[in-house]
Amino acid sequence: MSEQRLTVITGAARGIGETTSRRFSKGGDKVVIGDVLDDAGADTVASIEAGGGNAAYYPLDVTDEDSVNGFVEQIERDHGPIDVFINNAGIMQDGLTIEELPMEEHDRVWDVDYRGVYLCCRAIVPRMKERKRGVIGNVASMFGIAPYMVTAYSPAKTAVISLTEILAAECGPHNVRVNSVSPGYVHTPMMQGRFDTGIRSKERMERDSALGAMTEMLDVAEAFWFLCSDKAKAITGVNLPVDCGVLVANSYNAFPR
């Protein structure tokens, strides 16, 4: 694609989404951020633009169908067709057993982490199909590949991986690709906060990986940059773990000898 692409990233006011926005802007895309955090979203846009990038912020609640449909419609009215759509917005949950996890928390996690992705895909897919052009990237998680004690989050992320495969098959004939990235333990500002207060151990997370490292936010952004580029034109329906090898180390090290 020779003209500037239009890339939309949900939940990009901070964290992995923010870093991904900066990466796509650095690569030359116009980037639109949608989030519930209006001030942080505006700050991210201002800082991308101060660095010479082209960005905009629109309020978005991925759990609200009207908000999602209005968001997509308004962006295309203001900026033209969306080329790349990254479903990044998500919330975590505490490690709780099935009887400990309140149903309200379970439903809230599914609402944001699965239904939010579904609603956004439902809004953008028909437009991309019609134009016979577009790429969708979904943020899943290694917790969606293997079972961890996050009783709502893990299955919701597994559902995102399944939806990715279904939509890749459905949209492929329309020249629309759909892939997901599954980050492992990511070194975000929030995670650093947990290290600082002693709730989590960086050394433990590094030790649990094959590469002896934590995934950086930019590692996730680079995976999306590749998957959404024409270099990945033959790749659709994949779920790419970006986890420094936590998944392989976990099963490998479980073997008794």
Ligand X SMILES: NC(=O)c1ccc[n+]([C@@H]2O[C@H](COP(=O)([O-])OP(=O)(O)OC[C@H]3O[C@@H](n4cnc5c(N)ncnc54)[C@H](O)[C@@H]3O)[C@@H](O)[C@H]2O)c1
Q: Is residue 155 at the binding interface for ligand X, with CB under 6 A as the rule?
A: no
Q: Is residue 48 at the binding interface for ligand X, with CB under 6 A as the rule?
A: no
Q: Which helix or strand (DSSP H or E) is residue 161 part of?
A: helix 153-171
Q: Is residue 141 at the binding interface for ligand X, with CB under 6 A as the rule?
A: yes
According to DSSP, residue 214 is labeled: P
Q: Is residue 133 at the binding interface for ligand X, with CB under 6 A as the rule?
A: no
Q: Is residue 17 at the binding interface for ligand X, with CB under 6 A as the rule?
A: yes
> Which residues within the stretch 191-230 sit at the binding site for ligand X (CB under 6 A)?
none
Nearer to ligand X among residue 232 and residue 247 (C-beta): 247
CB of 130 to ligand X, least distance (A): 25
Q: 244 is written with which tokens?
A: 């420094």
Separation of CA 183 from chain center: 9
DSSP one-letter string for 42-79:
HHHHHHHHHTT-EEEEEE--TT-HHHHHHHHHHHHHHH
State yes or no: is 185 an active-site residue. no
Which position has the token pair 């991925």? 62
Q: Is residue 16 at the binding interface for ligand X, with CB under 6 A as the rule?
A: yes
**C-alpha distance across the termini of the chain, in Å:** 53
The residue from 58, 114, 153, 185 that is catalytic is 153
Q: 188 is written with which tokens?
A: 């975000």
Q: Is residue 36 at the binding interface for ligand X, with CB under 6 A as the rule?
A: yes
Catalytic sites, residue numbers: 153
Which stretches of the chain bind ligand X, using CB under 6 A? Answer: 10-11, 13-17, 35-37, 60-63, 88-91, 112, 116, 139, 141, 183, 185-186, 188, 190
